[in-house]
């Protein structure tokens, strides 16, 4: 269960993430947070997701209370719940050679999201590509706690689905995957706050329109 924690954002940056400190049942530890420096001090800390004895957590900013919420209905390929900010790409990605399962960084230097970190975010991209080894790479990322919180695709990708399903069998830890139609998929913008429900609904919290 998520618990509220007060965290202090410090100046060190790691890719697109910030390093923060927080009190946990394991003591004061460094945690990587997806937030702009100084913008959010009270966040929701996920329980340790690396292993039972590892003080690792992903911190997610809360949804903006003044945001406009849109509900999209998708097809759950791997059912589950997740929430987080959107990392959006219009390009396919091969997780094999394109994603680092130790850090969560996109390491394909030809990809438009190169250098971005997907850990704890909702990764919105059309589909995977390339080697079937992407399943194993995704599984490793889920195991180490740096995989996306969920994936939203335009097309069903059996390779990524297999990685999430097998991870659930081996580690009791699955990553939700949802497919949206073109209109709903392309309506999601970078840093929208997304909530994914087990039935495939995607709640999109966007910034209020300027009047």
Active-site residue set? 131
Determine contact, residues 165/139, Cβ cutoff 8 Å.
no
Q: What is the pLDDT of residue 66?
A: 59
Q: What is the mean pLDDT of residues 89-105?
A: 96
Whether 153 has a pLDDT exceeding 70, the answer reads yes
CA 88 to chain centre: 11
**Alpha-carbon distance 187 to 177, whole Å?**
18
pLDDT at 206: 80
What mean pLDDT do residues 35-46 have? 37
pLDDT(61) > 60: no
Q: Which two tokens stand for residue 81?
A: 């719940």
* Predicted local distance difference test score (pLDDT) of residue 1: 34
Overall average pLDDT of the 165-187 stretch: 95
Q: Pick the residue with more confidence: 64 or 41? A: 64
Q: What is the pLDDT of residue 150?
A: 97
Cα separations in angstroms, 77 against 176, 179, 182: 8, 7, 16
The residue ranking higher by pLDDT, 22 or 197, is: 197
User: In the structure, what pLDDT confidence band is assigned to residue 77 with cuts at 50, 70 and 90?
Assistant: very high
Measured between alpha carbons, how far apart are the two ends of the chain, in Å?
38
Whether residue 12 is predicted with pLDDT greater than 90 in this model: the reply is: no
Per CATH, the number for 68-206 is: 3.50.30.10
How does residue 34 score in pLDDT terms, banded at 50, 70 and 90?
Answer: very low
Long-range contacts of 3-6 (CB under 8 A, 24+ apart): 3/44, 3/45, 3/47, 4/42, 4/43, 4/44, 4/45, 5/42, 5/43, 5/44, 5/45, 5/59, 6/41, 6/42
Q: With bands split at pLDDT 50, 70 and 90, how would you rate the model's confidence at 208?
A: low
Confidence of residue 141 (pLDDT cuts 50, 70, 90): very high
Rounded CA separation 32/21 (Å): 9
Q: Sorting pLDDT into bands at 50, 70 and 90, what band is 68? A: confident
Euclidean distance between CA atoms 147 and 138, whole angstroms = 7
């Amino acid at each position: 269960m998520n618990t509220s924690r007060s965290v202090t954002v410090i100046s060190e940056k790691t890719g697109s993430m910030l390093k923060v400190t927080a009190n946990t049942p394991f003591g004061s530890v460094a945690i990587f947070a997806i937030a702009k420096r100084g913008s959010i001090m009270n966040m929701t800390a996920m329980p340790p997701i690396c292993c039972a004895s590892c003080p690792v957590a992903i911190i997610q900013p809360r949804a903006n209370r003044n945001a406009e919420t849109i509900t999209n209905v998708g097809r759950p390929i791997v059912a589950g719940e997740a929430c987080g900010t959107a990392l959006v790409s219009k390009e396919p990605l091969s997780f094999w050679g394109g994603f680092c399962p130790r850090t969560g960084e996109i390491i394909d230097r030809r990809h438009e999201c190169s250098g971005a970190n997907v850990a704890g975010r909702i990764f919105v991209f059309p589909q995977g590509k390339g080697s079937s080894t992407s399943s194993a790479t995704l599984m490793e990322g889920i195991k180490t706690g740096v995989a996306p919180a969920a994936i939203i695709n335009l097309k069903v990708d059996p390779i990524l689905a297999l990685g999430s399903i097998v991870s659930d069998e081996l580690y009791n830890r699955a990553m939700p995957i949802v497919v949206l139609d073109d209109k709903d998929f392309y309506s999601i913008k970078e840093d929208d706050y997304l909530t994914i429900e087990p039935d495939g609904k995607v709640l999109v919290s966007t910034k209020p329109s300027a009047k």
